[in-house]
Amino acid sequence: MKASPIFSIVFLARIAAFAAVLATLLLLAGCSDAQKTVRGHILDVQASSLTDVASLTLLDAEGKVWRFEAQGNLGFTPSHIREHMMQGEEMTVTYREKGDDLVALRVAD
C-alpha cells in the first residue's frame, strides 16, 4: 500500500514546523539578554576616557567580588564612581552576562 502524496506533504510540513519551533526555542534560550543588578562598594574603576568606564570591580554585602567590563558611558563618569569608592558609598550596577563575562550597562547611586 503506497502513501498518498497529500499525506507525505502534510507529514513533512508538520516536521518542518516542529523543527522551526524547536530551533527558535533553542536560539532564545542561548541568547538571554536579561538584565540583572547587584549593589555594593566599588573596589576599583578603570577609565577608557574622561567620560567612559573600561572596567569596574564591586564587593557585595555577602563578600563576593564582581568584575565588570564596560563599553562606554554608564551614566556616571569614572571620577564620580571613584568618589563613591573613596567615600565608601554603595552603588548599584545593572549588567548582563555575555558568555563568561559580566558587562556593566549602568551604574546608579
* Predicted pLDDT at 72: 80
Can you give the three-state secondary structure of the chain, one letter per residue?
A: CCCCHHHHHHHHHHHHHHHHHHHHHHHHHHCCCCCEEEEEEEEEEEECCCCCEEEEEEEECCCCEEEEEEEECCCCCHHHHHHHHHHCCEEEEEEEEECCEEEEEEEEC
Q: Can you give the pTM of this predicted structure?
A: 0.69
* Predicted pLDDT at 6: 66
**pLDDT one digit per residue (tens) for the chain, 109 residues:** 565 666 677 666 676 665 555 555 455 455 557 999 999 999 999 999 999 999 999 999 999 999 999 988 899 999 999 999 999 999 999 999 999 999 999 999 9
* Predicted pLDDT at 8: 73
